[in-house]
Structure 1
């Protein structure tokens, strides 16, 4: 049913649950698993970050740690992808590039309240493949 699965993570609790679901699905279907984390530099203001590579480096280091953590949870080969940009745009781009059959992501991110987060909503609305929100 699924040959290739993409899971997006930002290290939040909902994203961690999404990683667990994606790992289970990939194991069950013997599917390829990709894990993407996107450094959203727009969140902090491009002008602020343009003068501070240390801030971007810190954000990327955190994202790399999140990717490594996700990859170690799986008892299968995992491809990790680190991107910069708008999270929903980059998640969709990775999904298209890898031609994945399913995208899995948390229903909320680091900043969201009890409602579906903006990234999850934008991914669901703008991709042409199944999306599972956890």
Structure 2
């Protein structure tokens, strides 16, 4: 049913649930799993990211740690990628590039509370692929 699954993470609680779900699905369907972490340039600001190597390095290092944790836990092949930009755009573009059969992501990010987060909503609304939110 699923050959290629993409999971997005930002380290939030809901993203961690999404990772658990994506790992289970990838194992069940013997699917290739892709994991993406996006440095949200809206959150940190282009000028802040371009003007301070320390901030960029810290955010990128955190993303790599999260991706490596997914890889260590997986019992299927995992491709890791990190990008910069608007998360929903980068997730959508990468899903298109790899021809993902399914996207799995948290329903709220680090900065969200209450209802579905803006990035999750935009992925569901604008990415033309099946999406599961956790």
Could you tell me the TM-score, scaled by structure 1's length? 0.97
Alpha-carbon RMSD across the aligned residues, in angstroms, is 0.8
Q: In structure 1, list runs of 5 or more residues that go unmatched.
A: none
Q: 1:30 matched to which residue of 2?
A: 30
Q: 1:123 matched to which residue of 2?
A: 123
State the aligned residue count: 134
CA distance in 1, matches of 2:110, 2:48: 21
Give 1:44 shift.
1.9
Report Cα offsets for 1:35-61 as digits up to 9, x if no partner: 000011221221223211111111100
CA distance in 2, matches of 1:19, 1:105: 7
CA distance in 1, matches of 2:71, 2:96: 21
Do 1:8 and 1:37's aligned partners in 2 also have CA atoms closer than 8 Å? Answer: yes
Deviates further, 31-40 or 44-53: 44-53
Do 1:39 and 1:84's aligned partners in 2 also have CA atoms closer than 8 Å? Answer: yes
Q: 1:52 matched to which residue of 2?
A: 52
CA distance in 1, matches of 2:49, 2:5: 32
Do 2:31 and 2:76's aligned partners in 1 also have CA atoms closer than 8 Å? Answer: no
Q: In structure 2, list runs of 5 or more residues that go unmatched.
A: none
Q: 2:79 matched to which residue of 1?
A: 79
CA distance in 1, matches of 2:110, 2:62: 13
Trace 1:9-20 onto structure 2 (pairs within 5 A): 9-20=9-20
CA distance in 1, matches of 2:81, 2:27: 19
Trace 1:33-112 onto structure 2 (pairs within 5 A): 33-112=33-112
CA distance in 1, matches of 2:71, 2:114: 27
CA distance in 1, matches of 2:46, 2:127: 26
Could you tell me the TM-score, scaled by structure 2's length? 0.97
